[in-house]
Chain A
């Protein structure tokens, strides 16, 4: 059983504990995810907290059958995009030119956000060591050498672990491939 399913199951017997576990497992990746969309730390945390509050007060776990992680990432995605739109509307009042975000632009952005959600959701499924190295490189921005030194492994091991992690992420993304993307035409 996946971690998300285990937590969802626990909600049936012990809501308090399940809610705590949900927080421990997903708060950080959700905040980082929201932050990458919104670009502001405080707003990102705020959005994620509100999603947790909604989840708890609406007792959403009672009707959810599976895909707890998917649900949380969706909720945070929509709240974050809404937050951004709200800001853009405010901005539009000043420079009236942009009445609403370009439709195409918006679709592109939403697609990117979907990929983002997959990435953050999937990191969690990596084996512990690989996850640690992945975060050290991509989030903490450390170099191969720094990671190798910190974990006392060879630089090559670091690279191997990282390319495996990327392969894993990429394959998951492939599965979510959306058909309309096939319409992209080679311009050359």
Chain B
């Protein structure tokens, strides 16, 4: 005879119940609280996509929380300043009224007060399973974390995980966060190399369980997966999952970009777009998934263009300007405004070293003629340039 939990379980997953079981269940559910319990269990699957999204960007919530805390502080401070400023204005007004009537304290009123530059410069960070956050810039080539189960070393901008032995039944996850304008490398416990591009985040177990290798990515990374015929290696992003046994490939999945891509350099790769479409890739192939239309596309591409960032340069051969700018903005942290819409589709060919400052870069673009780039703050304005005018 099944106990009530087993009946309940079969009921929730939709297996057929015997008459007797159904009767027992009905009886049990007559207690309202039990009925609620069943309802709650059945509704839990509504959180499926949300959970997946949270796993893919584990730091995002904290980033927003900190942002909100900052904003709230700023508001209280502003309120204080506002009170103080109006007080000063009032006094100044009285004073001026008495003295030089035509002069007005314009400098106070035009808002010089409200400029706040509290932008924090956050570097590369590693969050450990217990919630501790380490600023990796503070660690030279030294041990970052030691646990009886794993060691993490920092060797010239590369984190190296070595896993002693797998003993834990619970898997501890770490998260590496790389801000705009930086990059970092990582060697996972199984020997897989990961190049993490600017503005990206990777969540991974400090040592892989015996049966699977799974990591979660937001942003862009290049993987050289260590061969292991027993365990597949999975990279989850918000809308796409790539599955491999041992191979080298790039994944790009920035939350603010519409296109998510996986590009295969070597080996074989399976890509699953949200369970709707599945692709088998051979080297040189790329899957593009468009978040707006929910459509995937299998293309033949020049792989170098999509993975060269890991070697410190960009190259493109007939790539649309818009796409080039998306790639560059991640590294240089600028934003782009297109004055003429048609320039988005201009095709560019070239090779750029990555570590040059972007003033130089923009001059190079301007030299090509055809387009004109102007920098204002961190906004790059692009318009077309008419050769004959």
User: Which of A's residues lie within 8 Å of B, judged by CB?
Assistant: 17, 20-25, 27-28, 31-32, 35-36, 39, 41, 44-45, 48-50, 52-53, 56-57, 111-112, 115-116, 119, 128-129, 135, 137-141, 143-144, 150-152, 159, 162-164, 166-167, 169-170, 173, 177-178, 181, 184, 186
Contacts and interface: CB of A to CB of B under 8 A. Distances in A.
A32 B50 contact: yes
A24 to B, nearest CB: 4
A129 B169 contact: yes
B37 A170 contact: yes
Contact of B51 (A128, A129, A140, A169): A140
Interface of B: 3-6, 8-9, 12-13, 30-33, 36-37, 39-41, 43-54, 61-62, 64-65, 68-69, 72-73, 127, 129-133, 169-171, 211-212
A53 B13 contact: no
B61 A35 contact: no
Contacts of A45: 61, 64
Contact of B130 (A21, A48, A151, A169): A21
B50 A23 contact: no
B131 A21 contact: yes
A21 B133 CA distance: 10
A119 B130 CA distance: 23
At the interface, is chain B mostly helix, strand, loop or mixed? Answer: helix
A141 B45 contact: yes
B43 to A, nearest CB: 6
A119 B9 contact: no
7 contacts: A17-B131, A24-B131, A25-B131, A31-B54, A119-B40, A138-B41, A152-B211
Nearest to B210: A152
A23 B131 contact: yes
Contacts of B48: 139-141
B177 to A, nearest CB: 13
B13 A137 contact: yes
Nearest to A176: B33
B45 to A, nearest CB: 4
